[in-house]
Structure 1
Amino acid sequence: MAYATSQDVTDYTGITSLPSDIDRLISRAEELIDETTRGKIDTDNANHMEAAKKATCAQIEYWLSNSEEVDISNMPHNFSIGSFSISGNSNQGNFSKLAPRARRHLFMAGLLYAGIDVK
């Protein structure tokens, strides 16, 4: 299911010169959104679709700022903030693959609930 278009990404991020592989990035971001929500996005629910669109755009913004490598390797080999630094194996998995803004959009739409739905 397509949640966002390149125009949506431009509108959300303000970036007018998107990379040539933007369609691939959109597809990868949508895969991550589906994984994170465990397929709970109801395509007939306007709130779900809006959250999915914003989360997809936020994820792409995150990758464009931090490199898609954050998702591929899950952790940079070296990372520092001021005098604090971390060096380690790229397979440690200490960093979230999902962008913080994407997580907020999904959370506010109730799409991160992992409990049991009683009907």
Structure 2
Amino acid sequence: MPDVGDLVTASLTVAPYDETTSAALLVTRPDGTTVSPTVTGSGGGQTWAAPVSYTLAGVWRLSWTVTGTGASVEHQLVSVAPAPGGGGAAGRTYATTTQLANYLGTAPPLDSARLLRQASVLLDTDFLLTAIYDVDTAGIPTDSEVAQAFADAVCAQVEFWGEVGEETDISGPLEGVSIGSVQLQFGAGDNRTGPDYYAPKLTRALASLPSDKIRFGVALGAC
């Protein structure tokens, strides 16, 4: 599967063919725009090739039109991935890939940017929705201790996903964890049938913050 930024050679083999065979290529990008790259033939009309530069993630359609002997129309669908490390939609991220590398003590995953955004969204929605702390215009904590704790928290979550997988769901985790007035209790006893969804070091990073730096306003209770 190609990535965004790849320049590849699209090719077509025609049969039957002879000196009257000719081929043209129409490339339809995921956004609906089209381009017709220069096509060159070889083998007396048997093989045709054209350069295609993948500039967008998504599904591309390559439509070959053959005229003369072997006349036909052939469509090829190509799935293009985002550039490695590019991730998806932009959003607030509490740690950089450099911070993640230093936290892990090793080279981070190629999709670190996406994982850090996902972990930051998890932190925002599951822990910080009612929290009160000083931020800048981008929503990033202005207090260095809070910013460091948030960075440690999302890095811990990415590390945790690397161990158990991103799809690990809540199945009886975190009985009795408290962060200020926030209390998380998702199951106990026989309800503990699976691993926690939250990294234990994530909750510890938040719990280490003094109350004069951040205040968690609403207790979540048992879910």
Taking structure 2 as the reference length, what is the TM-score of the superposition?
0.39
Q: What CA distance in whole angstroms lies between the structure 1 residues aligned with 2:121 and 2:130?
A: 10
Q: CA deviation at 1:112?
A: 7.3
Instruction: Indicate which of 17, 31, 45 corresponds to 2:143.
Output: 45
1:37 counterpart SS class = coil
1:69 counterpart SS class = coil
Structure possessing the higher relative contact order (Cα contacts under 8 Å, 6 or more residues apart): 1
Q: CA deviation at 1:20?
A: 2.0
1:20 counterpart SS class = coil
Instruction: Indicate which of 12, 16, 19 corresponds to 2:109.
Output: 19
CA contact (8 A) 1:32 1:98 kept: no
Relative to structure 1, the CA distance from residue 95 to residue 3 in structure 2 (aligned partners, 3 Å threshold; closer, same or farther) is: same
Instruction: Indicate which of 167, 170, 173 corresponds to 1:69.
Output: 167
CA contact (8 A) 1:74 1:94 kept: yes
Aligned residues: 98
Aligned Cα RMSD in Å?
Answer: 2.7
Runs of 5+ unmatched residues, structure 2: 1-91, 135-140, 172-191
Could you say which structure has the larger radius of gyration? 2
Q: CA deviation at 1:39?
A: 5.5
Return the letter of the residue paired with 2:203: R
Cα deviation digits, residues 4-30 of structure 1 (max 9, x gap): 0111111001121x2221111000000
Q: What CA distance in whole angstroms lies between the structure 1 residues aligned with 2:215 and 2:95?
A: 19
Cα deviation digits, residues 37-92 of structure 1 (max 9, x gap): 2253531222111110000111101011111111xx334xxxxxxxxxxxxxxxx9
Q: Which has the higher helix share?
A: 1
Task: Determine the structure 2 residue equivalent to 1:113.
Answer: 216
Runs of 5+ unmatched residues, structure 1: 76-91
Q: Which has the higher strand share?
A: 2
Instruction: Indicate which of 150, 154, 161 corresponds to 1:56.
Output: 154
Q: What CA distance in whole angstroms lies between the structure 1 residues aligned with 2:154 and 2:111?
A: 15
Task: Determine the structure 1 residue equivalent to 2:202.
Answer: 102
Q: Segments of 4+ in structure 1 off by > 3 A?
A: 92-96, 110-116
Task: Determine the structure 2 residue equivalent to 1:86.
Answer: none
CA contact (8 A) 1:74 1:93 kept: no
Q: What CA distance in whole angstroms lies between the structure 2 residues aligned with 1:37 and 1:97?
A: 16
Taking structure 1 as the reference length, what is the TM-score of the superposition?
0.68
